[in-house]
Amino acid sequence: MGVFDGIEKAEVFGGGSRIRPGSHIVEVGALVVHRSRKKAGIVYFVAELVVVESVGGRPVSAKPDAPPASSEPHKVDEKLGWVVDLSQPSGLANVKGFAMALAPDMDADDITSESMETLVSSDQPAKGLRVHADAFMVLTTKGGDFTKIQWNAAE
């Protein structure tokens, strides 16, 4: 059983971490799967990214009582990591949305466990591809902030 089994049926919602709110064009450095050393059985999809362009200015909190503050853009050539916990219910959907941005000519059904295994292989076929990360804050069900990311092909 592979870590991407079932991705064909995942809906795309977006999500992520370590990327600030804003509009960013990023280039793929590497795509890897990382098994947690601290939590047995937890597997992460990690996209190592490099900033090409970035615009901040989005709210940094979705909490109703948070003081107003705007995000700063990332610096060009800054390295970012987008980490997805594949054990979470939205994990495969988030990774699928990212994969679809890498291959905009593919249908959602074309993103399979096998195609994802190829993306994280030592060949790194996505290295150098650029994608657009549209990041904004949303409120979690527990009342916390979460940076949601919508991935699209870079123009």
Task: Name the residue among 44, 72, 45, 69 with its Cα closest to residue 135.
Answer: 72
- Segment 27-32 shows an average pLDDT of 96
Q: Quote the pLDDT of residue 93.
A: 95
Rounded to two decimals, the pTM is: 0.85
CB atoms near residue 9 (< 10 Å)? 11
How far is 5 from 23, CA to CA, in rounded Å? 31
φ and ψ of 153, to 5 deg: -65, 140
Residue 1 has pLDDT above 80, yes or no: no
Q: Please give the residue that has the higher pLDDT: either 137 or 7.
A: 137
